[in-house]
A = this chain, B = another copy of it.
Amino acid sequence: MSSKLIETAPGRVPVVGLLNRSGQLMDERLFSDLRAAGYPELRPGHACVFGNIGRGGSRLTDIAERAQITKQAVGEVASELERIGYLERIPDPTDKRAKILRLTKRGQEAQDAGYAIIQRVERELAEAYGVDFVNALRAALEDYTALGVGHAVGRHAA
């Protein structure tokens, strides 16, 4: 979405648009800070890997499933992260088809930096809107997204 000023009723800006825009703003903040912290090559598209890879590495398939995108999409991101030195593909000893994606040292540093920025941003949110509100927000959105993935809030109509 991209709605900004339109109101469905007096004083009511659609929550959809607000969610999307604020998410986008926070993304920009995150990657802007990440650039400033010395990771200028990282783009939002890389987040599906950084956000869904396990400590000791994960299979591409697992990352794809957690990120809810296709294996091909993850594979492309992984190849680029590999190319720029953030990730390595090591063969899975237990399955010769599979490769384990694992962050390199630089990759882990970037991930840590990302989480540090996220925590800073969330502290700012807590200062601005109250800790309780932010916690309630997180809880509500966790619930909503969990519902959406699982037994449907209203999608899955197609």
Cβ-defined contact, B27 with A16, below 8 A: yes
A11-27 contacts to B (CB < 8 Å): 12-27
A86-101 contacts to B (CB < 8 Å): none
Output the nearest chain B residue to A30 by Cβ-Cβ distance: B16
| Copies of this subunit | 2
CB neighbours of A8 from chain B (8 A): 115, 118-119, 122
Number of interface residues of A (CB under 8 A): 67
Interface code A123-153, partner B: CB below 8 Å = 1, 0 otherwise? 0110011000110111011111100100001
Output the nearest chain B residue to A65 by Cβ-Cβ distance: B4
A76 interface residue (CB < 8 Å to B): no
Instruction: Provide a sorted-by-A list of 10 A–B residue pairs whose CB atoms are within 8 angstroms.
Output: A1-B48, A2-B69, A8-B119, A15-B138, A17-B47, A19-B19, A22-B145, A121-B154, A124-B154, A129-B140
